[in-house]
A and B are shown apart, each in its own frame.
Chain A
Amino acid sequence: MNRLSWYTPGESTEELLCQAGHVGIYEGDLKQTNFEQGTASLTMQRIIWADSSDPDRRLVLHHSLVISMEKHHKSMFSKGGKIVVKLEKPKAGNIGPVNSSHYETLRLVFRHGGEDDFFKKYEDAVRRKTWQRSSSGSSSSGSRASSNLRSVGISGIERRLAENHQKTHETITQAFDDMSKLMETAREMVALSKSISEKVRSRKGEISEDETIAFKSYLLSLGVSDPVTKSTFVGSDSEYFQKLAKEISDVLYEHIKENGGMCALPEVYCRINRARGMELLSPEDVMNACGALSRINSPLELHRFPSGVLVVQLKSASMDSTVGQTLEFVSKLERASANELAESLGITVILARERLLAAEESGLICRDDSIEGLLFYPNRFME
């Protein structure tokens, strides 16, 4: 056991190769140990064993001490598969759970299996001798001996926090690298979709009908083929918003025309970003672009209901015609709810409610608020 040392936070290049739970560490052929059960983690420099009942109680076995190793499968009498490691004498100044021992071997007993994979990777790590190349040196080397104390108390906690912080930082950096790669790929995809659509257009006769349909379906799944981006319009916000308004108009006109003549702003935001794919817009940009619809001679316009709800609606669907249409619907049913109007026009309940409230404001319909919910009737009070 004098080959084992107490854990200190790791070497700079340390990375986890393999991990196994329910591992016991036994000396020589002894049947008793103070290290019955823990998690063994294999790195390129060492094995770190953490006690299951007290994870802060951690031991280290350096690869530099390994002479040879062999694997024994689980037998009828043994507690589990095991790896027997023959070790050199420890370096002077090694601080571990035991000061001296006359055994040259350690047994790692894997009660829940996993010894095969662990053995293979352990053997490979020892063969590579990474610890010799490591600039920081292993914790068993003389330069580290003085600092090789068990990390306890506040300093230990601080060290662990610093480690976690470093790990998090690396993870985030990696994530953003991946994101930018993804963005690059998306740009390539958009360029590809553009070239495909041009080819389809130019080679109308040479491509069969089925192929054309297939191509078009691929293009549709890619969304807007050439999204407007802010970087194109440096310093000219109004031009950017006008171009964006044009894009919104092109993407949403058909949908709005077929669905009751209006579309709530959150839905506009979702639909335009769904169509753009990766070049996402902020809610603020969408709102400014919708405000610019009136300046680009678009068939759509931004309308604010008295309650503050914003919608993009057809210019042709003026408030008078919308209100008239709503009254017609309510009169036909004698009484109507927002749900019924929404279902009839294929719009959201919120928009249907706004239309009913607008008709109420105009004095064409009146409300009946009861346990049945909010219903609207033609306004007989004004007759």
Chain B
Amino acid sequence: MAAATTTASAFKWPWQYDFPPFFTIQKSLNTKDKQLEAWARLVIDYAQHNKIYSLDIAEATTSELFNNQKLNRRLSTDGVNTVLQYLEQKKLIEFTDNGRTRFHIFWRRPDVWANMIYQWAVENAFINTPLTLYEITHGDDTTNESFHNLEREILMKALTCLEEQRRAQLMNIGGDNEGVKFI
């Protein structure tokens, strides 16, 4: 899990988090839809607040996200899987391995990250200037940007989007100095 820039305690939990039935997957279909909607919103908001880009299922199941110690309630493993299936269906997460043990959380979709990065490149006159991937996510020029510390896999997805739109060209990927040139 990526390091949180703000403390978890500052996160404002929704009312559902303090409602015991929230931690039991409901049987009635209409109720279940509303419940999963609320879970999806919570997972995305929590990930955004804590700048979490990817999660391990085992880690997630034991995290405070799915465990309310004050209520003495936790979402079961089956429940967590149900929520993740719903998020995957809504294209808000993507599993990174065949074993489905780890997933990316898209609190911003890759195309949104792509637009933000391209906007930054235009504003800072980096068009036609080769940049390393490290510079984009860890450089001094991006400390105030929301994509600072962005995980490599998500950055690659965003840059691939730009490449498909012919607004960027990836260079030396897999080599020592991986880079990109914005067009």
On whether A369 and B35 interact (CB within 8 A), knowing A363-B30, A380-B19, A382-B30, the answer reads no
Q: Which of B3-25 contact A (CB under 8 A)?
A: 15-16, 19-21, 23-24
The answer, yes or no, to whether B26 is at the interface (CB within 8 Å) is yes
The answer, yes or no, to whether A251 is at the interface (CB within 8 Å) is no
Residues of B within 8 A of A41 (CB): none
CA distance A361 to B28 in the complex (A): 5
CA distance A335 to B21 in the complex (A): 10
Q: Interface residue tally of chain A, by bracket?
A: 10 to 19
Residues of A within 8 A of B38 (CB): 381
CA distance A312 to B27 in the complex (A): 26
Q: Which of A352-369 contact B (CB under 8 A)?
A: 360-363, 366-369
Residues of B within 8 A of A362 (CB): 28
Partner of A368, one of B16, B24, B34: B24
The answer, yes or no, to whether A52 is at the interface (CB within 8 Å) is no
The answer, yes or no, to whether B102 is at the interface (CB within 8 Å) is no
- Rounded to whole Å, the gap between the CB of B72 and the closest CB of chain A is 8
The answer, yes or no, to whether B181 is at the interface (CB within 8 Å) is no
The answer, yes or no, to whether B73 is at the interface (CB within 8 Å) is yes
Partner of B31, one of A335, A370, A375, A382: A382
- Whether A368 contacts B31 by the Cβ 8 Å rule is no
| Among B15, B31, B34, residue most surrounded by chain A Cβ atoms (within 10 Å) | B31
Q: What is the interface of chain A mostly: helix, strand, loop, or mixed? A: mixed
The answer, yes or no, to whether A103 is at the interface (CB within 8 Å) is no
CA distance A379 to B26 in the complex (A): 10
- Whether A367 contacts B34 by the Cβ 8 Å rule is no
CA distance A121 to B38 in the complex (A): 91
On whether A366 and B21 interact (CB within 8 A), knowing A381-B35, A381-B38, the answer reads yes
- Whether B35 contacts A367 by the Cβ 8 Å rule is no
Residues of A within 8 A of B34 (CB): 381-382
The answer, yes or no, to whether A119 is at the interface (CB within 8 Å) is no
Partner of A377, one of B19, B27, B28: B19
Mark B62-73 against chain A: 1 for CB-CB distance below 8 A, else 0. 000000000011
CA distance A375 to B21 in the complex (A): 9
- Whether A368 contacts B21 by the Cβ 8 Å rule is yes
| Among A335, A368, A377, residue most surrounded by chain B Cβ atoms (within 10 Å) | A368
- Rounded to whole Å, the gap between the CB of B169 and the closest CB of chain A is 48
Residues of B within 8 A of A361 (CB): 27-28
- Whether B31 contacts A366 by the Cβ 8 Å rule is yes
Residues of B within 8 A of A380 (CB): 15, 19
- Whether A379 contacts B31 by the Cβ 8 Å rule is yes
- The residue in chain B whose Cβ has the minimal distance to the Cβ of A381 is B34
Residues of A within 8 A of B26 (CB): 366-367, 381
- Whether A363 contacts B28 by the Cβ 8 Å rule is yes
Residues of A within 8 A of B73 (CB): 368, 370
CA distance A362 to B28 in the complex (A): 8
- The residue in chain A whose Cβ has the minimal distance to the Cβ of B20 is A368
Mark B119-130 against chain A: 1 for CB-CB distance below 8 A, else 0. 000000000000
On whether A381 and B31 interact (CB within 8 A), knowing A367-B26, A370-B73, the answer reads yes
- Whether A367 contacts B30 by the Cβ 8 Å rule is no
Residues of B within 8 A of A370 (CB): 20, 23-24, 72-73
Residues of A within 8 A of B30 (CB): 363, 382
CA distance A300 to B119 in the complex (A): 73
Q: Which of B72-100 contact A (CB under 8 A)?
A: 72-73
- Whether B21 contacts A377 by the Cβ 8 Å rule is yes
On whether A366 and B28 interact (CB within 8 A), knowing A381-B34, A381-B38, the answer reads yes
CA distance A281 to B57 in the complex (A): 58
- The residue in chain A whose Cβ has the minimal distance to the Cβ of B73 is A370
CA distance A382 to B34 in the complex (A): 7
- The residue in chain A whose Cβ has the minimal distance to the Cβ of B76 is A369
- Whether B27 contacts A367 by the Cβ 8 Å rule is yes
CA distance A380 to B15 in the complex (A): 10
Residues of A within 8 A of B21 (CB): 366-368, 377, 381
Residues of A within 8 A of B31 (CB): 360, 363, 366, 379, 381-382
The 6 closest A-B CB pairs, nearest first, are A368-B20, A381-B34, A366-B21, A369-B24, A368-B21, A381-B31
Q: 16 extra interchain contacts, Cβ-Cβ under 8 A, other than A363-B30, A377-B21, A382-B34?
A: A335-B20, A360-B27, A360-B31, A361-B28, A363-B28, A366-B31, A367-B27, A368-B20, A369-B24, A370-B20, A370-B24, A370-B73, A377-B19, A381-B16, A381-B21, A381-B26
B residues in contact (CB < 8 Å) with A: 15-16, 19-21, 23-24, 26-28, 30-31, 34-35, 38, 72-73
The 30 sampled A-B contact pairs (Cβ below 8 Å) are A335-B20, A360-B27, A360-B31, A361-B27, A361-B28, A362-B28, A363-B28, A363-B30, A363-B31, A366-B26, A366-B31, A367-B24, A367-B27, A368-B21, A368-B23, A369-B24, A370-B20, A370-B23, A370-B24, A377-B19, A377-B20, A377-B21, A379-B31, A380-B19, A381-B16, A381-B21, A381-B31, A381-B38, A382-B31, A382-B34
